[in-house]
Amino acid sequence: MGSMRVAVVGATGAVGREMIRILEEREFPLEELILFASARSEGKRLSFRGESHPVRGLDEGWFDGVDLALVSAGSGIAREIIPRAAADGTVNVDNSSAFRMDPNVPLVVPEINSDALGGHRGIVANGNCTAITALMPLAPLHREFGLRSLVTSSYQSVSGAGMKGIRELAEQVEKLHGQEETLGYPDAAALPVGDVFPRTIAFNVIPMCEEFDPDGTGFTTEELKMGGEIRKVLGLPELSVAATAVRVPVAVGHGVSVYARFEARVTAESAREALRGAAGVRVLDDPSAEAFPTPLDAAGLDDVLVGRIRQPEDDPNALMLFAVGDNLRKGAALNAVQIAELLARPAASA
């Protein structure tokens, strides 16, 4: 594609702002950056490469002259605006779940399955932030040992719900400041509940991310995404995946506890060796020095951090680990920009 006219849709949101920052950090080859957001954000200005850029509202022909769009506007808006843009020749990298499981849309994590981009039809799906965090260590382990089954528990920060999630946590922490006795013996009436999360998120954890499956499986839609996306990216349609997703009172960074079983025997040390050579993965695993990853360690980083690598005593084919990634960067904005970089190569647009 060469130098392009690039749009960021959802530019004022948490992921959109991170997309703009990463485009600048990585010196993405663009001729013009065009920013779009909802009507309430129209007229705001955001900085890019030392210049102030206006935020526009979306209209019917927003995609006119746009070569590449990085879209982070939610599934409903994505379904409405992206197909028309793709039909007009704009290539769209969508951060929502709208097209991820569409068999005609590639779901791409560049370090793992960049070859899937070859058949795109103007829409490329960016993965779920937690699935990407798990996939980054799982893919090299699968290549080495052959993945058979997977159990995950994810601990997801409030920024997974956007800027409004961060604000709700901050407001609740402020309201509860100095009320330690209330926290120890909670009076339900004294605990603030906002509009974003179904329970108080400050000083609490909520075992519900997104909605419960309307089909009555007992899983949440976030948990179902985890299995579907891991299977699609790894090309393992029969892989057994059982996921639990928990919202935690952390601003940025998703953690994933993984219990994986493999075809081949695996040891903690052989797993570390496989992970040390993997792009986008950093091993932080030394129990003697209490070295392990936390969300604060991962905040602002491009790499996914992996630690607590260990093997159950009763299963030589199983491995346990804990992975942490910045959900706004590798879990969303960085992965989208990496996809855009691949699309910008001349061969990708041929």
| Catalytically active residues, by annotation | 129, 254
What is the H or E stretch that residue 14 is in? helix 14-25
Specify whether the CB–CB gap between 350 and 8 falls below 8 A: no
Give Cα separations from 304 to 262, 276, 290, 323 (angstroms). Answer: 21, 12, 18, 7
DSSP state letter for 153: E
The three-state secondary structure class of 327 is coil
d(CA 251, CA 119): 37
d(CA 247, CA 201): 8
148: buried, middle or exposed (CB in 10 Å: 19+, 13-18, 0-12)?
middle
| CB atoms closer than 10 angstroms to residue 322 | 22
Q: Amino acid letter at 347?
A: A
Q: Which two tokens stand for residue 169?
A: 């946590």
Give the helix, strand, coil percentages of the chain, each rounded to 5. 35, 25, 35
Give Cα separations from 192 to 82, 160, 200 (angstroms). Answer: 38, 20, 6
For every residue of 200-267, DSSP letters joined together read: --TT--BS--SPBPTTS-S-BHHHHHHHHHHHHHHT-TT-EEEEEEEE-S-SS-EEEEEEEEESS---
187: buried, middle or exposed (CB in 10 Å: 19+, 13-18, 0-12)?
exposed
The three-state secondary structure class of 70 is strand
| CB atoms closer than 10 angstroms to residue 189 | 5
d(CA 344, CA 18): 19
